[in-house]
Copies of this chain bind each other. A is one copy, B any other.
Amino acid sequence: MSNEIRLKPGDTIGILGGGQLGRMLSLAAASLGLKTHVFCPDPSSPAFDVSFTHTVAPYEDISALDTFAASCGVVTYEFENVPGPTAAHLASRVPVRPGVKALEVSQDRLSEKEFLRSAGVAIADFATVDSNDDLEAALNRLGGAGVLKTRRFGYDGKGQVIIRTADDAKGAFDKIGRAPAVLEKLIPFEREVSVIVARDVDGTCQAYDIAENHHENHILKTSTVPAQVSPSTASTARDMAERIASSLDYVGVMGVEMFLSGSGTEETLLVNEIAPRVHNSGHWTEDACLTSQFEQHIRAVAGWQLGSGSRHSDVVMENLIGDECDRWPAVLADPSARLHLYGKAEARPGRKMGHVNRIKPKSI
């Protein structure tokens, strides 16, 4: 549907997915006088607590989707694995932003890599793997090492095997369930950085400052801003993110993860993957910028102008995973810290329960 649809205060934004991202999007919408309608199959979705209304139904329930679409001026999503038919059905009734193309591209690592190449941004060399023979050929071409990743449904390190030796390669394709996959060349990256970029319906882009990310057990642990990178690398990263958003005719906020290797004037960036939604590595924006990524996404999908994403403070975001959320009293006692909890009842291992932003005066 047309980019011309713009909401007014009091209108409703539909959100597919009721996790913490949907919750924080709902809170941001409420601050702007907008309502949200959260659609999620899970009856204990944390976003329901703060949304104007919600629907509990499977994503395949056409009747529920129709009722949902009729109640919303625009629909967005908090996760990239929205089933294709769900997105297509909704898009026939109401504008879906960021849009169906962004979902298609990001749901399949192969499509994503082909798209990124066509957009002219640098990525690690890769090969498709649909069999053990493919894997052997791919390893031969990429220097005997690589990361084997399923094309679909991978996250937080799931559906991935690192191959450094011939031994690693044995059974690797079985380990990922013999699912269609890609082998990415193993690059000696030193650090992961990410850029959160927003694009509005008029095509104006705005990228936040680059963040440096640290993972534990394949799950994001901290994002630090400013990242320790050269000014030209920071500028290149933002340009790459804006180019990706523009190439997708994207509307909303997107997370772009990149590998950074080398240092100083030798720094090199390769785009790892994109997430067509607000992103965990952008949670720092909530306490270090006037406009958070959540507000920015809501503004964009509402058809409104973007806000300023300029940063007023330095910040380190730390995820609270599993029972780390029990540390909330210590977080409250730290005068530099702001606590964010997602209202989830059960602190299962590996579950994201909240995060902390620790801020200090802006250095650069």
Contacts and interface: CB of A to CB of B under 8 A. Distances in A.
Given A35-B343, A49-B52, A312-B312, 17 more contacts: A9-B343, A10-B343, A26-B50, A27-B30, A32-B340, A33-B328, A33-B341, A33-B342, A33-B354, A290-B338, A290-B359, A295-B338, A304-B329, A305-B329, A305-B333, A312-B313, A312-B359
Nearest to A354: B33
A327 to B, nearest CB: 11
Nearest to A336: B308
Contacts of A23: 30
A291 interface: yes
Interface in A1-40: 9-10, 23, 26-27, 30-33, 35
Interface in A335-353: 335-343, 345
Interface of A is mostly: mixed
Contact of A361 (B304, B312, B343, B345): B312
Contact of A304 (B49, B308, B332): B332
Interface of A: 9-10, 23, 26-27, 30-33, 35, 49-50, 52, 287, 290-291, 295, 299, 304-305, 307-308, 310, 312-313, 325, 328-329, 332-333, 335-343, 345, 354, 359, 361
A328 B31 CA distance: 13
A290 B290 contact: no
Contact of A9 (B10, B291, B333, B341): B341
A35 B313 CA distance: 29
A354 B31 CA distance: 9
Given A33-B341, A290-B359, A341-B33, A9 B336 contact: no
Contact of A338 (B10, B26, B307, B354): B307
A244 B299 CA distance: 42
A99 to B, nearest CB: 22
Nearest to A295: B338
Contacts of A325: 9
B332 A299 contact: yes
20 contacts: A9-B328, A26-B50, A27-B31, A30-B49, A31-B340, A32-B339, A33-B328, A33-B343, A33-B354, A35-B49, A49-B52, A50-B52, A290-B359, A291-B338, A295-B338, A304-B329, A304-B332, A308-B335, A308-B336, A310-B335
A115 B195 CA distance: 55
Given A31-B340, A49-B52, A287-B290, A335 B307 contact: yes
